């Protein structure tokens, strides 16, 4: 499932030294090394998993199978016992999942932000705006093409909340300008580029793929666009066969200071800025959740 990007390879080489102290050299082999990580397409498309997963495997002896899907599908897989650990970014859906008893632990890992991108011509005139809801209103008023993931992912959940804030519901009304891709973030960006359309994306995936896109970053830095990631272990009380030991090992590893440093520095070598902000030392309340 993994695709090793050039930036991921460079970052991996730079980060290997930084995390060499994460675990002792003689760490005993895990009783069950096989771990299923279900995560979002943004963590894969950005290249972050190309760095983190090999490091975790090297340090712990686990073998990680990565399944990158939308957060909604990731949570469903956890609910059905078809994953061991989740790395997702839809806090409201995650809380519902935890309230249902499907997850055992949930830890804050990192955040980045969503941005609105669109065609170079910007027919809706949203460039430079500071409010995502106002931008969405202008896109609808202009009947400008907008590509939604339409897949119940964390990005799709955020998009629908913004439309709701604008007093609009194109996902239900299905106007001609509203296009649902049903695909991950990378593929949705390509579709938006081909159709000269607007879309909502996480910043990391956009930066990792923008060289192949005809899309400009048009709206950013709105507090409503915060994009927060948590790691969740699947509750072994419901699914005794899940690899809980591996899941909690991965969750704790993600939140260790050395791993958080890798997250903090990921992307700096290629883009001149970090693609994610580590948050293990914070609480949800610190991020306004």
**Do 120 and 212 have their domain in common?**
yes
Q: What is the mean pLDDT of residues 42-54?
A: 93
Domain termination residue (choose one: 203, 225, 247): 225
**Do 122 and 72 have their domain in common?**
no
Residue 19 binned pLDDT confidence (cut-offs 50, 70, 90): very low
What CATH number is given to the structural domain containing 51?
3.40.190.10
**Do 257 and 213 have their domain in common?**
no
Examine residue 90 and state whether it is found in any structural domain, yes or no: yes
Is the predicted pLDDT of residue 285 greater than 80, yes or no? Answer: yes
**Do 139 and 184 have their domain in common?**
yes
Is the predicted pLDDT of residue 6 greater than 90, yes or no? Answer: no
pTM over 0.95, yes/no: no
Is the predicted pLDDT of residue 53 greater than 60, yes or no? Answer: yes
Would you state the pLDDT for residue 74?
95
Would you state the pLDDT for residue 42?
87
**Do 13 and 85 have their domain in common?**
yes
**Do 170 and 267 have their domain in common?**
no
d(C-alpha 110, C-alpha 230), whole Å: 7
**Do 245 and 191 have their domain in common?**
no
Residue 34: give the domain boundaries.
Answer: 6-112+227-287
Provide the number of structural domains found in the chain: 2
Tokens for 99?
């309230």
Would you state the pLDDT for residue 206?
95
Examine residue 1 and state whether it is found in any structural domain, yes or no: no
d(C-alpha 156, C-alpha 147), whole Å: 10
Would you state the pLDDT for residue 29?
87
First to last CA, the chain: 32
Domain termination residue (choose one: 174, 196, 225): 225
Examine residue 35 and state whether it is found in any structural domain, yes or no: yes
- Which residues have CB under 8 Å from 281's CB, separation 6+? 260
Examine residue 29 and state whether it is found in any structural domain, yes or no: yes
**Do 68 and 140 have their domain in common?**
no
**Do 254 and 198 have their domain in common?**
no
Domain termination residue (choose one: 178, 194, 225): 225
**Do 22 and 106 have their domain in common?**
yes
**Do 135 and 179 have their domain in common?**
yes
**Do 128 and 51 have their domain in common?**
no
**Alpha carbon separation from 66 to 12, 15, 86, 192, 208 (Å, rounded):** 17, 20, 10, 26, 19
Asked if residue 223 lies in contact with residue 92, where contact means CB atoms within 8 angstroms, the answer is no
């Amino acid at each position: 499932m993994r695709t090793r990007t050039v930036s991921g390879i460079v970052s991996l080489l730079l980060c290997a030294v930084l995390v060499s102290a994460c675990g002792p050299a003689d760490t005993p082999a895990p009783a069950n090394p096989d771990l299923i990580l279900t995560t979002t397409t943004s963590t894969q498309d950005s290249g972050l998993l190309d760095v983190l997963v090999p490091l975790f495997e090297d340090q712990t002896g686990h073998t990680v199978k990565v399944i990158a899907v939308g957060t909604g599908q990731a949570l469903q897989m956890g609910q059905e016992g078809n994953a061991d650990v989740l790395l997702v970014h839809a806090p409201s859906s995650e809380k519902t999942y935890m309230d249902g008893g499907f997850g055992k632990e949930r830890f804050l890992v990192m955040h980045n932000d969503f941005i609105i991108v669109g065609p170079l011509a910007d027919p809706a005139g949203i460039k430079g705006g500071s409010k995502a809801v106002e931008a969405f209103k202008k896109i609808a008023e202009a009947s400008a093409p907008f590509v939604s993931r339409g897949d119940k992912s964390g990005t799709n959940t955020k998009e629908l909340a913004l439309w709701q804030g604008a007093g609009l519901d194109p996902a239900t009304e299905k106007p001609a300008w509203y296009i649902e891709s049903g695909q991950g973030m990378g593929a949705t960006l390509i579709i938006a580029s081909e159709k000269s359309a607007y879309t909502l994306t996480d910043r990391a995936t956009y930066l990792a793929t923008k060289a192949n896109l005809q899309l400009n970053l048009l709206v950013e830095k709105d507090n409503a666009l915060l994009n927060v990631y948590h790691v969740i272990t699947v509750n072994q009380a419901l699914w005794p066969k899940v690899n809980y030991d591996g899941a909690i090992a991965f969750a704790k590893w993600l939140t260790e200071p050395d791993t958080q440093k890798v997250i903090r520095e990921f992307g700096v070598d290629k883009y001149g800025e970090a693609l994610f902000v580590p948050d293990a030392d914070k609480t949800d309340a610190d991020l306004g959740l």
